[in-house]
Chain A
């Protein structure tokens, strides 16, 4: 490997300068690339197509890795000495935070010495956003794994989805054989479904008003109100429905009352996201539609919303995700029940968040197990909903049924190296 001239950084000099010269003498191949090239006058079998080794300019090279590893190690040692030996602080979290800060500082310092300051700043910024991304993945995996770990061993699959809690008695040693969370699953599904059916069309209509129809002062007022509404604490939404409908005797405690409270929460968040999504639909499409003689509602219905479809689906998913785990508004509205009640219009109804709420603090281990099982079921429902929604919202070419290439496919098409044809040797 040749030494780079001083002051010039060649990030992957090992690839770009080292591999090409060494390979050519080791395997004699004709210098031409085309198959069937007559070499020596006799028709040879087609020579294997040789492509140059692909390189990625700017890829992370050994020097970069070394810098980062050395920074991490020296920061660890330094902080360990300062933290535990000199100041005799304690606590793992504090140590981690100090280690990370020291790591960033050393990386910046080292890079700016070895390379230059611009690169150092760029690299530290890169490390920060990578950390954020990895941290999110870590947190999600941790939550999912933890709940699964706590819930699954105690689950009796035959009872979980088929039995409610009417025979719940904490002293029963075989409790989990005949107690499940059926009533809560049914309740949550019904409440969320009703809230979605009521809230989503309303939210989309409001977003269309804000983005396509409303102008000037009224639209601004509506937008402000929607924003303020999204700040409503969810317990207030519950109290609101309780005092308006239940306290006055218009409605019973019921799944329907719960779904009304959930609509109050769902509405503003879906509205705002859909509005943002509609805003990025190019205005040229609206003009094209209008200039074909389409009425405005047609333009929105047949051009704007289909164009924004996947974004609208995302908005709805975010809204559903927002309400599916809401607990506070259900306390005053669905009230919770240990008995299966499939009718959402009358009587108390169970809900998974309420099962979690009422069992997590129980003294008996078996009740705590039930809480974790409910959490596990809730997570699974959300996951299944998301996968289904994504599956059905894929943009498809209708006649041929061929999925439109995603952005990733396009990237892959352009950036993956061309597959090398293997010759039968």
Chain B
């Protein structure tokens, strides 16, 4: 059973098309802003995340940092309703995409996920599909007509910085790529459905430095068109790519919380909380 938001519905008409409007085939659609308010999360009755209130600004890159097990992935998955896929998972609080509560009555998870895409830690291209089919998978799944498919494949792969490497191999299976290429293919696949927000859970942790830099460039390139929320354990990466930063921490026997959030320069250069200072300077635990 999922505990839904107790906050009153936001002052937005009951218009589902507020989420579902058509953005055409170019990438010039607008990014979205996410407001998380008082988010709590439980796994099988155990509270792992308490009272997270955080705004992820439109067209900006927000980095979530913090030690292992503090609930960053859980929070990220709450933002596109992937949390409820886990059996026994519950949550409270509200998450709004451009003002519309994604957990509000009548909101379907599928619809939400189409607008808030996700890239996972481990590259997971669909092994039974070709590279081109992988890119188009999201559209096929949600039966959205794509206009010209070839253009979309090229545009998405170019955005993800993979087009040059694979343009002659579009018919090969997705699993035939290297790990870094697979991850960029996953980014292209997520971008092809034109999400307004892209969530990335340690997207570079399995990759070499070169691929990591490629993906960071990709993130910067796409940031005007899609809001990016990225979880990373790499402090340099957080500094390189993010505009805003939120430090999560789960102190002993307590659920995870946001200790400090703000502009990346502030968090890294002049944090107000001693624990943040310790963590970003590598003096933690």
Contact = CB atoms under 8 A, between A and B. Distances in A.
Interface of A: 215, 282, 284-285, 287-295, 298-299, 302-303, 306-307, 309, 395, 397-400, 402, 404
B120 A287 contact: yes
B128 A309 contact: yes
30 contacts: A284-B124, A288-B126, A288-B186, A289-B137, A289-B141, A290-B113, A291-B80, A291-B117, A291-B190, A292-B113, A292-B193, A293-B110, A293-B111, A293-B113, A293-B141, A293-B142, A294-B137, A294-B141, A295-B110, A295-B141, A299-B141, A302-B140, A307-B126, A395-B173, A397-B130, A398-B130, A398-B133, A398-B171, A399-B171, A399-B172
Interface residues of B, number: 33
Given A215-B87, A288-B120, A404-B173, A307 B113 contact: no
A292 B135 CA distance: 11
A306 B175 CA distance: 14
B122 interface: yes
B118 A291 contact: yes
The 7 closest A-B pairs by CB, nearest first: A399-B171, A293-B114, A294-B141, A306-B128, A292-B138, A291-B118, A284-B124
Contacts of B87: 215
Interface of B: 80, 82, 85, 87, 110-111, 113-114, 117-118, 120, 122, 124, 126-130, 132-133, 137-138, 140-142, 170-173, 186, 189-190, 193
Nearest to B134: A288
Contacts of A398: 130, 133, 171
A288 B120 CA distance: 8
B129 A306 contact: yes
A290 to B, nearest CB: 6
A287 B186 CA distance: 12
A307 B189 contact: no
A425 to B, nearest CB: 39
Contact of A397 (B114, B137, B173): B173
A289 B141 CA distance: 8
Given A293-B110, A400-B171, A298 B141 contact: yes
A291 B186 CA distance: 11
A397 B142 contact: no
B170 A399 contact: yes
Contacts of B129: 306
Contacts of B173: 395, 397, 404
